[in-house]
């Protein structure tokens, strides 16, 4: 707290120096000190130069916009140019990042508070508040001044989110998490050009998107790929997203090295990343179970892709061989998402 006034003074000095002002004080001190040759003054010069470098770095940091990356923890999926699995999925010719976990209630609640005082495009679903399985997000007030708060544990994945809610969340991240009504500047443009759409499949990631819903190949690679040369299976792909060809054990977290939330052993959702010993090769959690996750595959004129299975489904559905679909407007307590970025 006490740093601020002095930082401000120093930044002002730096700013004036940048404009070419000749000032009494620090600069003239440097000049007068530089005119002498004693070792003591050399030390002072060194110290002052160091302080100036520090202040310049602080100034640079102070003028940088907040980084959405810090808001959603991402992991890097390397090995660009990998071949596809026998299922035909998983080849990605570039390096990218993907969310370490599913999006949480806390993150989605921050989103709602930023852009859904008036919820023009249905980012909130009343079941988020009433479904005892998920508890959820509470909406207060009336349209124009809605506010939202997490019910219970905000570390569980958000559910009752459509493909469009996920796309709007990506736009919001892309735009630097602004506050305001649902417009082009907040939720309607950026990664996806939505402009009020809440149905249909004719929406794709825009060039230059900073966050997006993973493609099916990106999602699949993050879940199942591990080069054989790097300790993976002989054909570079595991059957389950826990670096295993054997099905995970359905058990309460944290479990062991191959555990997940499925088969209704936990009622219902577990905090994201709770199976701490069961990460995928690239460091993701819960790509098998907890909630189904949207991807951007267009399956038909009516459906988008879903993968990974959920808290009440059988083990097979967590595997790389299982591909599901949903209408992009579908919302229920077993579907969520994670994001990807460059
Ligand atoms: Ca919605
Ligand atoms: Ca394999
Ligand atoms: Ca999942």
Ligand 3 center to residue 115 CA distance, Å? Answer: 26
Ligand 2 center to residue 45 CA distance, Å? Answer: 62
Ligand 2 center to residue 219 CA distance, Å? Answer: 17
Counting ligands in written order, the one closest to the CA of 330 is: 1
Q: How confident is the model at residue 17 (pLDDT cuts 50, 70, 90)?
A: very low
Q: What is the mean pLDDT of residues 46-73?
A: 73
Counting ligands in written order, the one closest to the CA of 112 is: 1
Q: What is the mean pLDDT of residues 196-223?
A: 97
**Residue 305 forms beta bridges with which residues?**
325
The stretches of the chain forming alpha helices (DSSP H) are 3-18, 26-34, 39-63, 68-71, 105-115, 127-130, 163-174, 216-224
pLDDT at 38: 67
Ligand 1 center to residue 160 CA distance, Å? Answer: 7
Can you spell out the DSSP letters for 190-211?
SSS--TT--S-S---PPTT-SS
Counting ligands in written order, the one closest to the CA of 90 is: 2
Structure tokens that stand for 52 in this block: 């100036």
Taking the C-alpha atoms of residue 173 and residue 153, their distance in angstroms, rounded to an integer, is: 23
Torsion sign (Cα): 107, 216, 309, 233: negative
Counting ligands in written order, the one closest to the CA of 278 is: 3
Q: What is the mean pLDDT of residues 47-72?
A: 72
Residue partners of 49: CB distance under 8 A and separation at least 6: none
Ligand 3 center to residue 216 CA distance, Å? Answer: 14
CA distances from 142 to 40, 90, 118, 151 (A): 68, 45, 8, 19
**Cβ 172 vs Cβ 178: under 8 Å:** yes
The yes-or-no verdict on residue 111 having pLDDT over 50 is: yes
The yes-or-no verdict on residue 69 having pLDDT over 70 is: no
Q: What is the mean pLDDT of residues 12-41?
A: 48
Counting ligands in written order, the one closest to the CA of 87 is: 2
The yes-or-no verdict on residue 266 having pLDDT over 80 is: yes
- Beta strand pairing status for 292-298 and 335-336? parallel
Ligand 1 center to residue 48 CA distance, Å? Answer: 55
Counting ligands in written order, the one closest to the CA of 280 is: 3
Helix axes 39-63 and 3-18, enclosed angle (nearest 10): 100
The yes-or-no verdict on residue 191 having pLDDT over 70 is: yes
Q: What is the mean pLDDT of residues 252-273?
A: 96
**Cβ 60 vs Cβ 79: under 8 Å:** no
**Cβ 295 vs Cβ 306: under 8 Å:** yes
The yes-or-no verdict on residue 125 having pLDDT over 60 is: yes
3-state secondary structure 160-175: CCCHHHHHHHHHHHHC
Preceding amide of 110 cis, omega within 30 = no
The yes-or-no verdict on residue 32 having pLDDT over 50 is: no
Ligand 2 center to residue 231 CA distance, Å? Answer: 12
The yes-or-no verdict on residue 5 having pLDDT over 60 is: no
pLDDT at 70: 74
Counting ligands in written order, the one closest to the CA of 246 is: 2
pLDDT at 49: 86
Q: What is the mean pLDDT of residues 7-30?
A: 45
Taking the C-alpha atoms of residue 66 and residue 143, their distance in angstroms, rounded to an integer, is: 29
Residue with tokens 């579907």: 335
Ligand 1 center to residue 331 CA distance, Å? Answer: 7
Q: Which residues surround ligand 1, an ion (CB under 5 A)?
A: 122, 162, 165
Can you spell out the DSSP letters for 303-338?
-EEEES--TTS-GGGGSTT--EEE-TT---TTEE--
Counting ligands in written order, the one closest to the CA of 228 is: 2
pLDDT at 281: 98
Q: Where in the chain is the domain with CATH 3.90.1580.10?
A: 68-342
Ligand 3 center to residue 337 CA distance, Å? Answer: 8
Counting ligands in written order, the one closest to the CA of 328 is: 1
Ligand 3 center to residue 336 CA distance, Å? Answer: 8
The yes-or-no verdict on residue 4 having pLDDT over 80 is: no
The yes-or-no verdict on residue 190 having pLDDT over 50 is: yes
In 3D space, the residue among 134, 67, 70, 143 whose CA is nearest the CA of residue 105 turns out to be: 134
Ligand 2 center to residue 235 CA distance, Å? Answer: 5
pLDDT at 187: 98
Q: Which residue has the higher pLDDT, 59 or 79?
A: 79
Taking the C-alpha atoms of residue 240 and residue 266, their distance in angstroms, rounded to an integer, is: 20
Q: What is the mean pLDDT of residues 245-272?
A: 96
Taking the C-alpha atoms of residue 283 and residue 101, their distance in angstroms, rounded to an integer, is: 9
Q: Compute the mean pLDDT over every residue in the chain, rounded to the nearest whole number.
A: 89
pLDDT digits (tens, 9 = 90+) for 291-302: 999 999 999 999
Ligand 2 center to residue 220 CA distance, Å? Answer: 13
Counting ligands in written order, the one closest to the CA of 161 is: 1
Query: CATH number of the domain at 68-342, out of 1.10.286.10, 3.40.30.10, 3.30.70.520, 3.90.1580.10?
Result: 3.90.1580.10
Ligand 3 center to residue 306 CA distance, Å? Answer: 10
Residues 135-170 as b or e (16 or more Cβ within 10 Å = b): bbbbbeeeeeebebebbeebbbbbbbbbbbbbbbbb
Q: What is the mean pLDDT of residues 241-253?
A: 97
Ligand 1 center to residue 325 CA distance, Å? Answer: 17
pLDDT at 61: 62
pLDDT at 50: 86
The yes-or-no verdict on residue 130 having pLDDT over 80 is: yes
């Amino acid at each position: 707290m006490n740093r601020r006034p002095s930082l401000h003074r120093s930044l002002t000095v730096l700013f004036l120096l940048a404009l070419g002002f000749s000032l009494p004080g620090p600069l003239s001190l440097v000049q007068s000190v530089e005119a002498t040759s004693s070792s003591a003054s050399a030390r002072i010069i060194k110290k002052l130069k160091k302080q100036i470098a520090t202040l310049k770095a602080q100034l640079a940091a102070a003028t940088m916009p907040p980084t959405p990356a810090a808001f959603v923890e991402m992991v890097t999926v390397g090995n660009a140019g990998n071949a596809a699995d026998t299922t035909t999925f998983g080849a990605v010719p570039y390096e990218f990042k993907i969310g370490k976990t599913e999006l949480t209630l806390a993150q989605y609640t921050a989103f709602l508070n930023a852009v859904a005082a008036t919820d023009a495009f249905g980012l909130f679903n009343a079941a988020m508040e009433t479904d005892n399985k998920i508890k959820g997000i509470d909406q207060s007030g009336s349209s124009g001044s809605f506010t939202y708060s997490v019910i219970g544990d905000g570390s569980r994945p958000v559910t009752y989110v459509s493909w469009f809610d996920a796309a709007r969340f990506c736009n919001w991240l892309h735009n630097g998490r602004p506050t305001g009504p649902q417009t082009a500047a907040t939720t309607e443009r950026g990664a996806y050009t939505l402009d009020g759409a809440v149905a249909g499949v004719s929406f794709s990631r825009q060039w230059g998107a900073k966050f997006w819903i993973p493609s099916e190949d990106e999602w699949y690679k993050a879940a199942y790929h591990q080069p054989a040369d790097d300790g993976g299976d002989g054909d570079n792909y595991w059957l389950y997203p826990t670096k295993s060809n054997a099905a995970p054990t359905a058990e309460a977290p944290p479990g062991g090295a191959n555990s997940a939330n499925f088969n209704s052993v936990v009622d219902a959702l577990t905090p994201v990343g709770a199976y701490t010993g069961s990460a995928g090769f690239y460091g993701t959690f819960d790509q098998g179970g907890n909630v189904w996750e949207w991807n951007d595959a267009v399956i038909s004129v009516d459906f988008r892709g879903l993968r990974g299975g959920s808290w009440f489904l059988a083990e097979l559905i967590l595997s790389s061989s299982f591909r599901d679909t949903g209408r992009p407007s579908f919302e229920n307590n077993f579907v969520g998402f994670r994001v990807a970025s460059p």
